[in-house]
Structure 1
């Protein structure tokens, strides 16, 4: 576990202070609800209105800060809501992302939550928490138990106008449940299954005073544990979220939200040694599947705390102001042997990659947004303007041993302990501290140019200051202190056109700005000393429509993405780099949500991408080698998902799900590739009442051995084998 322990509230005191004055009770409407009226009451006839609201007409906060629906957003936007998370038995934030067409995700411990989408991956996909970017998504977005989340929003392609530098391939936002005034509710779930998986979670939202309440409290907690399918791997995690909402007046609402996550993974699984035959297919070494070559005392652990103060004021004609003050505090610890290579000549697994690491990471910031609905030249128009200030600080404490340390048999059970390795020692010595200060201004607008035509525009300008302090011996490649500044401007311009009452087409152009390699919160001098941010641009067109009187909803999109000024190896000067690389992608995405009869629901999505390294030179053992024309590693050309749910009777239902992922190259050189795979799952649900449900669910029922992520050409990270679980869910 992390050595430094801090009470969850202490890291968030500054955030809490903003809302202290708003906790005093007040009348919701300024009148005594018990006061009598001089007029006699009139009883009206009851009118029941029933209908089905299209998913396209729901708000799409993941694609804009304006109050617009998915239909009116000129982009591919996806919202994975709470009902979908529950219906599909989603266990973690990573599981939920299959709802996004063309997206694949893998979560090796050293990668956190590696998402590949639209031909880009890693730091080129921004992952946020409640709209906040901690600028370390490749690690900070490690999968979290899904219970505390209300929904997950995603937008394809550049979204710099929303979130700043980053996100050339897309952006994903994990949105936490918070207290609300709509209703009192409570729920709980318990499940158990293969690999000794146990989950117990519950939550409650309570309004103090019913419909006239001026305070509401929400509390959610989740406890999960498993003994992994890999030797001796275990995971234990706590996730807690609490929030207090107060409305001292009808126009003013304040919410104080706190979160705490604690995860502990003893002897965490890093991957399996791999081999490739004459076919060029990389697969796990026979006999190594399910083996764990990490040291007996290896582990990964993280402790994360969030504090947010959300203040909303409705000024009527003056507009609506929302202010978010936030604090993020995370501590992550690693102690592992991470790399394993099969050596056929010595008939054993050669181990390397000895690393003890700590990340001490804090982010403090404030965002203010002003929104107003008005008219422009007599046309309905919405405007929003934002100001964001943030300070991101991260200190890393690396201790590593280079080269091979030993050779272990393929059936090794407990291959040694970490501090028995020569050169290792307990304790943490700081390596470097990165401070990233950001000030950003943004503006976004939607204007109806006619009854059918809408124009959307967004623009954001960032001022980014990076300061790095080297805590160890200075060198030419890593001076004692250095700094760099950036000033990117990114934007989006889009049009929507209603070709029919239930059908809309759109077109848009958007831009992005990214660090040339890595992320700013960990970037070193050698990577960034001579480079500005790389640039990305996208053109996208698509459509969104309801079919068959609302029984089906479909979306489709075609896009072209280009990222330029990547850092590549200099062909003429080995060891040097040039900011002239280029990577591109073109692709198609489509979704379908169909209910042909009341008892049957069909949901599907598919993504195809042609991704290329247009101009890319890689340093191979000191020799520059061109990879131009190759597909980036771990990028499948095709991904598809299908979910079927059939109501057998009012209390019984059954469903199945399929996921197919095409083959992927294991490296940029295209020397080997991992096989594609198809996974099949199914479930049966018994719902004796609207408040109770019991589900038996099977995952990977064909028990396919499948590669989620290639780690170079000598290791693969495997997905879980067949599993079965029983889940009980209740609502109160």
Structure 2
């Protein structure tokens, strides 16, 4: 039996078992006393924002959805948003400085996964650098095409990072102190305060965090600062306004870009473990990012069945790079050749307004929920790249890293190359129609008008004109059915479509990427189930899917110097997630994802010749990703736990000749609640000191963190 048939049997067998148990078998009831329910990422009955605009729960949504709320983020010791999403079903993410928001999910990577901030699409994966987890309220993930919700992109899925906002709680004060290996430290606090007495109409929230680390790679220091302020004002009983301001700063000295692999390069990539922590970047290498967010959110309840929300948003960011980025051993592995110097600045800003109207009424005597509205935005980005080729060869055992300004041509400073302006106008609508007591139909449709203008300040050529303009009008949608097998189990089926850029992103795309091409199209079929079992002691989800992405840019088979729109990729997979209260004191939670991702059509230019990569796997896409957590309560005050993460091997090139090995990471933690306000947590990460590649590209191996230990003190009043 093949994997697909096995998964189908598993899906329907599980659903039939749960249905039968609900209908015919009375299970022994276990009462859990003395301990609060442990935080879990399997939240079936909590309203989510990312799977729909209708305020549906995960159980009501015909799609695979993962949620990490504040309790889960804290329980798993997530330091930043990358830690959060790596615990979600099927996600594998890393933060190489050049690919700051690199994510792989359902066989797709980078801009094919939309990363949102409070539902706002910035259209550029480099804008999704990890953010300190302290300022996050929750992170949500929806699998598969979701262009119908958030605009062009999202063939593989969408991740939504949702910030903390002021709430109507009278007073909350919380803080954290953390210190660990590599002098890694965090100081953070948050306060939510009513401005006035018990009948206050205004509430404010302030959050701040500061992080520092000397880095697990030599000469790689990092500092982060996050500041978020929001003010909630109840202007009338039906009208409220929230003002939210956020500032994020991230800086790295001599960023780590990866370790060169040993030669000769066999199929399995290997590094010299004696030089495991060596940094081949220049001494004054640098990465910096400064981000400012402003949102004005107006909520108006027109009636018991109708509400309106309007959000004005502005994003401004400056990202600076100054690095020597590529390293390769000579044939005898005695010297390291350094190359690819890059001086770069991104000046990006986004200004937009989104209006959403929700309404509930009866349609043909059936309960019906509607959500619709429009979104208009303008994104501008200016790029200032200056680059160079080969630089020098150094002895890896003892060398002077040198200065960036010593690299020929780099001391001349920034040079403005291109300016991108993208205007988006979108209309969207969703509906949920309750066809019967057990069956609901969900539908969604979105129309976008995208207008792109690119001004070239550099050398003008046929493939880099002084100015070009393109426009696209994608239409995308979703149809889904949810059928309740019982009060605790359902089945769902959905079909969804997407539209995304054939290559690159609009914020940085060149004429050769998009100048002559239409948008790439994608479609997905997904079937799944969400259910509780053992009288609610356990919950689980299962999803089977197939995604086909067509017409992305590939090399012309007859002229490898030209790009044509002809590629196709198919991804088929299964995702499983579940939690179980095994005993009164022991909780288990796990997720697993398997994907078979292959190119159906893809030609690559190799030495001036077009080579077919049909049947090959995309770069950095693991076939399997799994996570496991076990938490045991020794008493009401003391918890201990362990976790494990498995990531399958990945290819580092389109030819599938270089492979980074699979890896498994283990962790341990102990948490002691000193009193109702204070908790002390000790955590050991990468227990076995595994040497592993979080990302592999070309002949470089971007190594993950070694074994580390940290202790944190958390307070909440």
TM over 0.5: yes
Residue number among 638, 654, 659 corresponding to 2:645 in the alignment: 659
Contact 1:455 1:494 survives alignment (8 Å): yes
Could you say which residue in structure 2 is the equivalent of 1:96? 84
Residue number among 372, 376, 379 corresponding to 1:389 in the alignment: 376
Q: Does 1:120 align with 2:108?
A: yes
TM-superposed CA distance for 1:317, in Å, is 5.2
CA distance 1:51–1:701, change in 2 (3 Å): closer
Q: Summarize the alignment of residues 65-104 of structure 1 with structure 2, pairs less than 5 Å apart.
A: 65-104=53-92
Could you say which residue in structure 1 is the equivalent of 2:14? none
TM-superposed CA distance for 1:277, in Å, is 5.7
Could you say which residue in structure 2 is the equivalent of 1:359? 346
Distance in 2, Cα, partners of 1:424 & 1:233: 21
What do the CA deviations read for 1:69-115 (whole angstroms, capped 9, x no partner)?
A: 11110001111000000011100000001232111011100001210
- Partner of 2:463, secondary structure, is coil
Distance in 2, Cα, partners of 1:88 & 1:425: 45
TM-superposed CA distance for 1:255, in Å, is 0.2
Residue number among 221, 224, 240 corresponding to 2:208 in the alignment: 221
CA distance 1:584–1:412, change in 2 (3 Å): farther
Could you say which residue in structure 1 is the equivalent of 2:138? 151
Of residues 60-69 and 310-319 in structure 1, the stretch that sits farther from structure 2 once superposed is 310-319
- Partner of 1:425, secondary structure, is helix
Distance in 1, Cα, partners of 2:47 & 2:147: 20
Contact 2:263 2:331 survives alignment (8 Å): no
- Partner of 1:255, secondary structure, is strand
Distance in 2, Cα, partners of 1:141 & 1:421: 29
CA distance 1:68–1:682, change in 2 (3 Å): same
Distance in 2, Cα, partners of 1:435 & 1:99: 35
Residue number among 694, 705, 708 corresponding to 1:723 in the alignment: 708
What do the CA deviations read for 1:145-165 (whole angstroms, capped 9, x no partner)?
A: 100000001100000110010
Contact 1:276 1:282 survives alignment (8 Å): no
Contact 2:343 2:413 survives alignment (8 Å): no
Could you say which residue in structure 2 is the equivalent of 1:368? 355
Distance in 1, Cα, partners of 2:412 & 2:132: 31
- Partner of 1:147, secondary structure, is helix
Could you say which residue in structure 1 is the equivalent of 2:18? none
- Partner of 1:94, secondary structure, is helix
TM-superposed CA distance for 1:414, in Å, is 3.6
Could you say which residue in structure 1 is the equivalent of 2:537? 551
Distance in 1, Cα, partners of 2:536 & 2:187: 37
Contact 1:293 1:412 survives alignment (8 Å): no
Q: Summarize the alignment of residues 663-674 of structure 1 with structure 2, pairs less than 5 Å apart.
A: 663-674=649-660
TM-superposed CA distance for 1:223, in Å, is 0.3
- Partner of 2:274, secondary structure, is coil
Q: Summarize the alignment of residues 497-576 of structure 1 with structure 2, pairs less than 5 Å apart.
A: 497-576=483-562
CA distance 1:433–1:723, change in 2 (3 Å): same
Could you say which residue in structure 2 is the equivalent of 1:261? 248
Q: Does 1:450 align with 2:436?
A: yes
TM-superposed CA distance for 1:279, in Å, is 5.4
CA distance 1:246–1:609, change in 2 (3 Å): same
Contact 1:373 1:382 survives alignment (8 Å): yes
Of residues 93-102 and 463-472 in structure 1, the stretch that sits farther from structure 2 once superposed is 93-102
What is the aligned-residue RMSD (CA, Å)? 1.5
Could you say which residue in structure 2 is the equivalent of 1:108? 96
TM-superposed CA distance for 1:256, in Å, is 0.2
Contact 2:382 2:418 survives alignment (8 Å): yes
Task: Provide structure 2 residue ranges, at least 5 long, that are not aligned to the other structure.
Answer: 1-34
Could you say which residue in structure 1 is the equivalent of 2:479? 493
Contact 1:116 1:122 survives alignment (8 Å): yes
Of residues 718-727 and 682-691 in structure 1, the stretch that sits farther from structure 2 once superposed is 682-691
TM-superposed CA distance for 1:543, in Å, is 0.3
Contact 2:169 2:192 survives alignment (8 Å): no
CA distance 1:412–1:300, change in 2 (3 Å): farther
Contact 1:571 1:625 survives alignment (8 Å): yes
Distance in 2, Cα, partners of 1:529 & 1:55: 44
- Partner of 1:283, secondary structure, is coil
Contact 1:231 1:413 survives alignment (8 Å): no
Contact 1:283 1:707 survives alignment (8 Å): no
Could you say which residue in structure 1 is the equivalent of 2:677? 691
Could you say which residue in structure 1 is the equivalent of 2:286? 299
What do the CA deviations read for 1:416-439 (whole angstroms, capped 9, x no partner)?
A: 100011111243221000000000
CA distance 1:276–1:604, change in 2 (3 Å): farther
Contact 1:276 1:672 survives alignment (8 Å): no
Could you say which residue in structure 2 is the equivalent of 1:244? 231
TM-superposed CA distance for 1:283, in Å, is 2.1
- Partner of 1:405, secondary structure, is strand
CA distance 1:249–1:278, change in 2 (3 Å): closer
Contact 1:394 1:521 survives alignment (8 Å): yes
Contact 2:305 2:361 survives alignment (8 Å): no
- Partner of 2:512, secondary structure, is helix
TM-superposed CA distance for 1:655, in Å, is 0.4
Distance in 1, Cα, partners of 2:251 & 2:108: 30
Distance in 2, Cα, partners of 1:197 & 1:482: 47
CA distance 1:680–1:413, change in 2 (3 Å): farther
Could you say which residue in structure 1 is the equivalent of 2:21? none
TM-superposed CA distance for 1:123, in Å, is 0.7
Contact 1:332 1:359 survives alignment (8 Å): yes
TM-superposed CA distance for 1:344, in Å, is 2.4
- Partner of 1:721, secondary structure, is coil
Of residues 570-579 and 75-84 in structure 1, the stretch that sits farther from structure 2 once superposed is 570-579
Residue number among 663, 684, 690 corresponding to 1:677 in the alignment: 663
Contact 1:159 1:170 survives alignment (8 Å): yes
Could you say which residue in structure 1 is the equivalent of 2:8? none
- Partner of 1:287, secondary structure, is helix
TM-superposed CA distance for 1:287, in Å, is 3.2
Residue number among 684, 687, 695 corresponding to 1:701 in the alignment: 687
Distance in 1, Cα, partners of 2:271 & 2:422: 40
TM-score, normalised by the number of residues in structure 1: 0.91
Distance in 2, Cα, partners of 1:285 & 1:433: 42
Q: Does 1:232 align with 2:219?
A: yes
Distance in 1, Cα, partners of 2:233 & 2:304: 23
Could you say which residue in structure 2 is the equivalent of 1:433? 419
TM-superposed CA distance for 1:345, in Å, is 4.1
TM-superposed CA distance for 1:550, in Å, is 1.1
Distance in 2, Cα, partners of 1:218 & 1:139: 28
Contact 2:262 2:333 survives alignment (8 Å): no
Moved over 6 A (4+): 50-54
TM-superposed CA distance for 1:350, in Å, is 0.3
Could you say which residue in structure 1 is the equivalent of 2:185? 198
Task: Provide structure 1 residue ranges, at least 5 long, that are not aligned to the other structure.
Answer: 1-49
Distance in 2, Cα, partners of 1:338 & 1:571: 31
Distance in 1, Cα, partners of 2:648 & 2:92: 11
Q: Does 1:338 align with 2:325?
A: yes
Q: Does 1:614 align with 2:600?
A: yes
Distance in 1, Cα, partners of 2:206 & 2:407: 45
Could you say which residue in structure 2 is the equivalent of 1:650? 636
Could you say which residue in structure 2 is the equivalent of 1:472? 458
- Partner of 2:270, secondary structure, is strand
Distance in 2, Cα, partners of 1:275 & 1:221: 43
TM-superposed CA distance for 1:530, in Å, is 1.4
TM-superposed CA distance for 1:183, in Å, is 4.1
